[in-house]
Amino acid sequence: MPEKRTIPAQSENFSEWYIQVVLNSGLAEYAPVRGCMIIKPYGYALWQNIQTELDRRIRETGHLNVYFPLLIPVSFFAREAQHIEGFAKECAVVTHYRLHWDAHQQQIAPDPDAQLTEPYVIRPTSETIIWHTFRKWIQSWRDLPIKINQWANVMRWEMRPRLFLRTSEFLWQEGHTAHATRQEAEQEARQMHQMYLEFFREYLAIEPYTGWKSPRERFAGAEQTYTLEGIMRDGKALQMGTSHFLGQNFARAFDVQFTTQEGTREYVWATSWGVSTRLIGALVMAHGDDHGLRLPPRLAPIQVVIIPIWGKDEPAVEDACQQIARMLQQAGIRTHIDLDREHRPGWKFHEYELRGVPVRIVIGPKDIQQRAVEVARRDTGEKQTLPWNDQLPTAIHDLLHTIHNTLLNQYKAFQQQITVEATSFQQMAQALQDGKVVCVPWAGSDHHEEQLQEQHNVTIRCLWTDDYEEPCIVTGQKTRVRALIAPAY
RNA sequence: CGGGGCGUAGCGCAGCCUGGUCAGCGCGCCGGGUUUGGGUCCCGGAGGUCGCCGGUUCGAAUCCGGCCGCCCCGACCA
């Protein structure tokens, strides 16, 4: 039986595979505006599952949710020099507050009489408006720390958009904190970085590389940027989250000082950190295969799909499906029954594989007779028959757990296998040529990094320290610092 | 911004070179029947000012000029 393939093989054309999986699995589709996407119910359910757990962890670590406005006066961006340099090129600007019918052009257009005296920027990130506000909120050491978070949309007018990975508008969570001491702010930035790592491991089944960014790759306005770098199945790195130690840069830019316990005046120390809908792109590219998505069970909108095989006695089959669904739902398992009569079972098997549903249960006349169900795993494709009894929900629950671990272990094995350690520039170049990502001793400068990009089209994704010293591959200087070098999204 | 591709039915496409029964196919949709343990099959039906503007011509989806938009690859970025 020839398979009707709607998506190309991953190995054939990864980029096209990615686009087709996103579109055909029902995660998202293109919007009328370039670079924007419509996040469809299935994709949004996935995002909401990410939100729910992440929000819990953010609040658990002492942060309160807030909402700041979408529009920011353009002058706010002039305050912090690096910040404006980083974002100016990609800002959408609101200049008018009214449309009118332009009789000359025969179209609706901004009313020239309704031009704003000061244009507003649609936020590309909220540091500026938040620090403008912090000035009002902070006078004394008693006002600190302030630890807030907001779930919002932001807009960055990207040159080259890509579904979920780099859309002009995207959804994210941005945390912003203010502290009395450098040490406390640094601690906060590292803590949230660690929180992301645990969340990725426990929910996305991805354990990315972690470390800090080189000065070149740092957030505009940060003193230190901590990052999480996942390696996708095509060997390219994807920045999955960041946490910035902002020093006193924004406090100085917005003149936010406080009176210490000793009565002196000091600038406030800051952090900001965030993850976005890009994580959905990471899930697709880290776990997906030729059949489509493979969603980690703790985030999957549908954890178990039940597919009936109708046979002669349809009511009996439907009833059996309902009973089992109820049993699973009562055990807290997100279960969906597909009672659609139009499509045959084979069609449905393919459909739910494309959509990455972790577990499929098939129920037909045979199963009813034997008081058993056929259970298939999306991650490995394995099928097994489980008895239809009180133990079923527990068995499925355990299976979901196993699937999570399998996905995580497969990811880790892949990441380990694609990573090579090099002790010379030559070795590194060869490994990159072979499609590997490379870990090297590094004490180079911005200049060396620029050369890497020009010559090999790769960047330093992150830096960390090892226990022993090795000579840097570009300077020969002994160093404990290691760099992960890879092509990136 | 550079390179490439595309715009014809809801979706995917053919037709364009060589202007004239070229308004066509597949999927989907609607109606009826059949089938259901890995993408059933058959019959009937609805649906398009061929991206926009202008030109050439007796005649333009097709040729010419201009404009607009989208996608892919690169430089920038979560």
pLDDT tens string A270-285: 999 999 999 999 999 9
pLDDT-derived band at A163 (thresholds 50, 70, 90) equals very high
CB proximity A381–strand B (7 Å threshold): yes
Binning pLDDT at 50, 70 and 90, where does residue A4 land?
A: low
Tell me the pairing of strands A257-259 and A265-267: antiparallel
CA–CA distances in Å: residue A93 to residues A34, A129, A156: 16, 15, 11
Domain extent for A313: 304-399
Report CA-CA distances (Å) from A431 to A231, A286, A401, A428, A466.
15, 21, 35, 5, 21
Q: Which helix (H) or strand (E) holds A73?
A: strand A71-73
- In angstroms, the CA A187 to CA A147 distance is 13
Collapse the DSSP code of A441 into the 3-class scheme (helix H, G, I; strand E, B; otherwise coil) and give the result: strand
CA distance A288 to A291: 8
Q: What does each C-alpha distance from A89 to A118, A132, A214, A238, A444 come to in angstroms?
A: 18, 22, 22, 22, 28
Confirm whether A2 is domain-assigned.
no
Residues of chain A (242-301) having a beta carbon less than 7 angstroms from strand B: 242, 274, 276-278, 291
Chain CA centroid to CA A383, Å: 31
- pLDDT tens per residue, range A97-116: 998 887 776 778 889 899 99
- ipTM over the 0.90 cut-off: yes
Is the same domain home to A243 and A380?
no
> Mind listing the pLDDT tens digit for each residue in A412-457?
999 999 999 999 999 999 999 999 999 999 999 999 998 898 889 9
Any atom of strand B under 7 A from CB of A136?
Answer: no
Per the structure, the count of domains in chain A is 3
Q: Can you tell me the mean pLDDT for A466-488?
A: 96
User: Over 80: is that where the pLDDT of A3 sits?
Assistant: no
Note whether A68 and A130 are same-domain residues.
yes
The span from the first CA to the last CA of chain A, in angstroms, equals 38
Pair A98, A176 in one domain = yes
Indicate the Cα dihedral angle A312, A315, A319, A320, nearest 10°: 0
Classify residue A23: in a domain, yes or no: yes
Given this model, what pLDDT does residue A88 score?
A: 86
Domain shared by A224 and A326, yes or no = no
Encoding tokens for residue A59?
């609040």
For A44-89, how does the pLDDT look when each residue is reduced to its tens digit (9 = 90+)?
Answer: 999 999 999 999 999 999 999 999 999 999 999 888 888 888 888 8
Q: Which residue is nearest to nucleotide B75 (CA to C1')?
A: A159
- What is d(CA A409, CA A207) in angstroms, rounded to the nearest whole number? 9
Looking at residues A164-180, what average pLDDT do you find? 96
The residue to which tokens 């992960």 are assigned: A484
Strand partners, A224: A245
What is the distance between the alpha carbons of residues A53 and A304, in angstroms, rounded to a whole number?
Answer: 20
> Measured CA to C1', what is the nucleotide nearest A32?
B70
**Average pLDDT of the residues in A178-198:** 98
pLDDT tens digits along A365-394: 999 999 999 999 999 999 999 999 999 999
Nearest nucleotide over every DNA/RNA strand to the A165 CA, judged by C1': B78
Claim to verify: residue A270 and residue A317 sit in the same structural domain: no
Q: Are residues A309 and A380 in the same domain?
A: yes
Residues of chain A with pLDDT > 70, as a percent, come to 98
Q: Residue for token digits 């449309």?
A: A99
Query: Considering Cα of A411, then A417, then A419, then A421, what sign does the dihedral take?
Result: positive
Q: A314-330 and A392-418 helices cross at what angle (nearest 10)?
A: 70
Tokens representing A317 are 């089959």
Residue A367 in any domain: the answer is yes
Rounded (5°) CA angle A485-A486-A489: 135
Which nt sits closest to A353, CA to C1'?
B38
Can you give the distance from the CA of residue A160 to the C1' of nucleotide B74 in angstroms? 10
A421 CB contact with strand B at below 7 Å? no
Looking at the domain assignment, is residue A294 inside a domain?
no
| Residue-level pLDDT at A5 | 53
Adjacent-strand bridge partners of A110: A99
Residue A404 lies in a domain: no
A452: alpha, beta or left? (left if phi > 0; alpha if psi -120 to 50): alpha
Q: Is the CB of A158 under 7 A from strand B?
A: yes
Contact by Cβ (8 Å): A51, A382: no
**CA–C1' gap, A4 and B14, in angstroms:** 20
Average pLDDT over residues A314-332: 96
Measured from the CB, is A19 under 7 Å from any atom of strand B? yes
- Distance (Å, whole) CA A251 – CA A440: 36
Q: Residue A424 sits in a domain of what CATH number?
A: 3.30.110.30
CB A335 within 8 Å of CB A303? yes
- A463 contact to strand B (CB, 7 A limit): no
Nucleotide nearest to A86 (CA to C1'): B77
Which domain CATH number covers A92? Answer: 3.30.930.10
* Same domain? A326 vs A234: no
Strand B at less than 7 A from CB of A453: yes
Asked if strand B contacts A386 at the CB level, meaning under 7 A, the answer is: no
Q: Does A415 fall in a domain?
A: no
Average pLDDT score over chain A: 94
Q: Which nucleotide is nearest to A341 (CA to C1')?
A: B36
Please report the pLDDT score of residue A1 as a whole number.
Answer: 29
Q: Strand B positions with any atom < 7 Å from protein CB?
A: 1, 29, 35-40, 69-78
| pLDDT at residue A2, as a whole number | 33
Q: Which residue, A239, A258, A287, sits at the end of a domain?
A: A287
Q: Which residue is nearest to nucleotide B11 (CA to C1')?
A: A24
Q: A309 and A187, same structural domain?
A: no
Alpha-carbon span A443 to A214, nearest angstrom: 11
pLDDT, residue A86, reads 85
